[in-house]
Amino acid sequence: MNVGGGGKLRMTDLKAWLEDEGFAGVQTYIASGNAVIDGPDGTDEDLEARLEAGAQARLGLRTVFFVRRPPEWDALIAANPFPEEAATRPSRLVAMCLKSELAGESLAYLASAITGPERIAAAGRTLYIDFPEGQGVSKLDRDWARAKVPPLGTARNWNTVLKLAALAAA
């Protein structure tokens, strides 16, 4: 889930809420909205909508959820266009989960709005962003805000991506 902006939720509360909703095997990871669950059958979109409505109704939290099942998470890792960066500086590489795939024109527009050394690539419903100098000094958010890019998704650094994959596989 995206916990940025005004919506804050302790991971213990997220875990308790998901268990109250009937999900089994709930595991959370660090305080950034990561949860691994044994989810129901159905589409990702249906589960996202259920979680979003439930978070607002039960927790008073208006936020966006991004569901990825283990095969898609594995594919996200395999499709990483920046393998050297993942190996040498995984905290500076992020995978951003999106609601839908980026079309070629959209990706080109995003790339054209970057004024720093950051690089982006997309595969499926994932945008990969390489921050060679680190996110803390990056002007990417300001570049995209100036270009009027709407919020895209929720991003996790490569260390977190791999940890979530390990949790889902366990």
CB distance 155 to 131 below 8 Å: no
Helices 158-169 & 70-78 angle (0-180, nearest 10): 140
Q: Which of 49, 50, 15 is nearest to 29 (CA)?
A: 15
Task: Tell me the per-residue pLDDT of 44-67, one tens digit each, with 9 for 90 and over.
Answer: 899 999 999 998 998 888 888 999
Running DSSP on this structure, what letter comes out for residue 149? P
pTM higher than the cut 0.85: yes
- pLDDT for the residue numbered 130: 97
Burial environment of residue 6 by CB neighbours within 10 A (0 to 12, 13 to 18, 19 or more): exposed
Residue 91 CA neighbour count, 13 Å, CB half: 4
* Identity of the highest mean pLDDT range in 17-26, 74-83, 95-104: 74-83
pLDDT beyond 60 at 16? yes
Tell me the pairing of strands 119-123 and 126-130. Answer: antiparallel
Distance set, CA 107 to CA 51, 67, 79, 125 (Å): 28, 22, 16, 12
